[in-house]
Amino acid sequence: MKIFIKTYGCQMNERDSEAIGALLKSSGHTLVDTENDADVLLFNTCSVRDAAERKAKGKIGYMKKLKLRKPDLIIGVMGCMAQRLGDQLLAELPHLDFVLGTGQLHRAPEAIAEISAQRKRFAAIDVAPEEIDMLGAHGNTSWSAQIAITRGCNRFCSYCIVPYVRGREASRSLESILTEARALAAAGVKEILLLGQNVAAYGLNGDIRPPAAGHSPFAELLEALNEIPGLERIRYTSPYVSYFNDRLIEALAKCRKVCHNIHLPLQSGSDRILQAMNRQYTARSYLDKVAQLRSAISDLTFSTDVIVGFPGEEESDFALTRDLMNEVGFEQAFIFKYSPRPGAKSALLADTVSEEEKLRRNNILLDDLQHRISTKLATLTGSVQEVLCEGVSARNESRWTGRTGTNFVVHFEPDATVVPGAVRQVKITRSGGVSLFGELIQE
């Protein structure tokens, strides 16, 4: 059958969709790019903010029209919203055929076969512990690939739905990750992105205490991946700040292929709010960790996630967040307006900050960020950067685009030898508001 998969939410969801797609292909189905061409529509959904759920529900609701025209159309909803709402989705959306929760994704081929055989609607949201290694399949590999190394989360930040929809944290075995990475490298992949809700908790068996000094299974994983021939770059997202101990910092500094960029969620710069969020660090300890990391790796760049308008966030708390962001000097940031999630602890608190005020705080942080990025980019003019070439620039066909290990986008004129995934030296000639421009250095 022809299957269309639409993904909402995070990179983990993208990765899951890729694996489900590959699984469906190996069961004899084909993947198509538009819903109109499809016999089966699969929606892999997100619950992290209310807006993500509303978007998916709106789209799925709209598909009713298509089903009226094509009564045999099969529609399935998977992932986090499926897990959270289960049967309720079947009740709300009468044209929906099946619902597969986060622990049941590998059953997509079976679900499609069942529905086409007997049209009996169902929702499956049981936790399936064996699922941890079941989504290892990859689609058409390019120069870059994602690998899920942990699933679920044990941290229970008070605003967050993830522990409830993705379940308890579990790590894959070192051997299975290495096998996957070696196969990808053999297929021509140059960059891997390791995924997990808290990647630095890899191999800690769900213990919520940050690892003891000298102990970091995540460091061991990075060191093993660093040895794989053919791989050029290793990225990871996201680590929790308290898990960067000496052992891990030493591995980051030593492993040539591990990129000098860390996505380090901050959430707030106010200790009072951090505590209400059940984040296990203070503004001071976050800053100290950043300083320790920078002293080990001088060109390290940082990106982050911040939530504005958490219940009880006063102007003074917001000012602390703003100051801390400027002090760290984040090179990239994702700012989110607080959205209460039913089931998460903070949903019991009054949502005290108005939508307009959340937007105002959001825009202030985005303006600061834009200013910081362009100032930082300007300092790179004249430098030579190692760039992994990605492909023709979306904006200008005569140029190519690539990325530095520190995660800056670089545009350059290609030569005849440039191919996607090639690593080249580029002399930076000028900077723009969000990216760099340069010339290939002929080696």
Residues that bind ligand 5AD (CB under 6 A): 48-49, 159-160, 265, 267, 305, 307, 336, 338-339, 341
Q: Which residues, other chains included, contact 317 with Cβ-Cβ below 8 Å and sequence gap of 6+?
A: 268, 269, 270, 272, 273
Instruction: Determine which residue in the list 5, 20, 41, 46 makes contact with ligand SF4, applying CB under 6 A.
Output: 46
Interacting span for ligand SF4 (CB under 6 A) from 33-41, 42-50, 106-114, 316-324: 42-50
Judged by beta carbon, residue 116 or residue 285, the one nearer ligand 5AD is 285
Instruction: Determine which residue in the list 165, 199, 219, 231 makes contact with ligand SF4, applying CB under 6 A.
Output: 165
Least distance to ligand SF4, CB of residue 84, Å: 8
Least distance to ligand SF4, CB of residue 51, Å: 11
Residue nearest to ligand SF4 (CB): 9
Judged by beta carbon, residue 165 or residue 365, the one nearer ligand SF4 is 165
What residue 336 binds from ligand 5AD, ligand SF4, none (CB within 5 to 8 A, per partner kind)?
ligand 5AD
Pairwise CA distance, residues 414 & 429, whole Å: 15
- Size of site (CB under 6 A) for ligand SF4: 13
Judged by beta carbon, residue 10 or residue 388, the one nearer ligand SF4 is 10
Q: Is 10 in the site for ligand SF4 (CB under 6 A)?
A: yes
What residue 166 binds from ligand 5AD, ligand SF4, none (CB within 5 to 8 A, per partner kind)?
ligand SF4
* Tokens (6 digits) for 184: 């990808």
Sign of CA dihedral 413, 415, 418, 420: positive
Are 423 and 414 in contact by the 8 Å Cβ rule? The answer is no
SS3 percent helix, strand, coil of the chain, rounded to 5, is 40, 20, 40
Least distance to ligand SF4, CB of residue 201, Å: 15
Judged by beta carbon, residue 155 or residue 272, the one nearer ligand 5AD is 155
- Going by C-alpha positions, the residue among 197, 198, 162 that lies closest to residue 80 is 162
Are 268 and 308 in contact by the 8 Å Cβ rule? The answer is no
Tell me whether strands 384-392 and 400-404 are parallel, antiparallel or unpaired: antiparallel
Q: Is 38 in the site for ligand SF4 (CB under 6 A)?
A: no
- Going by C-alpha positions, the residue among 371, 435, 438, 381 that lies closest to residue 409 is 435
Judged by beta carbon, residue 48 or residue 320, the one nearer ligand 5AD is 48
Residues within window 103-142 making contact with ligand SF4, judged by CB under 6 A:
none
User: Tokens 């290892």 correspond to what residue?
Assistant: 136
Binding-site string for ligand SF4 from residue 145 to residue 164, where x marks contact by CB under 6 A and - marks none: ----------------xx--
Residue 247 Cα to chain centre, angstroms: 25
CA distances from 78 to 165, 262, 309, 342 (A): 11, 30, 30, 19
What residue 148 binds from ligand 5AD, ligand SF4, none (CB within 5 to 8 A, per partner kind)?
none
User: Tokens 């997202």 correspond to what residue?
Assistant: 237
Are 389 and 379 in contact by the 8 Å Cβ rule? The answer is no
Residue 430's SS3 state is strand
Least distance to ligand 5AD, CB of residue 161, Å: 7
DSSP state string for 51-114: HHHHHHHHHHHHHHHHHHH-TT-EEEEEHHHHHHHTHHHHHH-TT--EEE-TT-GGGHHHHHHH
Instruction: Determine which residue in the list 3, 41, 42, 48 makes contact with ligand SF4, applying CB under 6 A.
Output: 48
Judged by beta carbon, residue 190 or residue 341, the one nearer ligand 5AD is 341
Interacting span for ligand SF4 (CB under 6 A) from 17-25, 45-53, 173-181, 273-281: 45-53
Judged by beta carbon, residue 105 or residue 160, the one nearer ligand 5AD is 160
Judged by beta carbon, residue 346 or residue 385, the one nearer ligand 5AD is 346
What residue 421 binds from ligand SF4, ligand 5AD, none (CB within 5 to 8 A, per partner kind)?
none
Are 99 and 123 in contact by the 8 Å Cβ rule? The answer is yes
What residue 307 binds from ligand 5AD, ligand SF4, none (CB within 5 to 8 A, per partner kind)?
ligand 5AD
DSSP state string for 368-427: HHHHHHHHHHHHTTT-EEEEEEEEE-SS-TT-EEEEETT--EEEE---TT--TT-EEEEE
Are 292 and 242 in contact by the 8 Å Cβ rule? The answer is no
Which residues of this chain interact with ligand SF4, rule CB under 6 A?
Answer: 9-10, 12-13, 46-48, 79-80, 161-162, 165-166
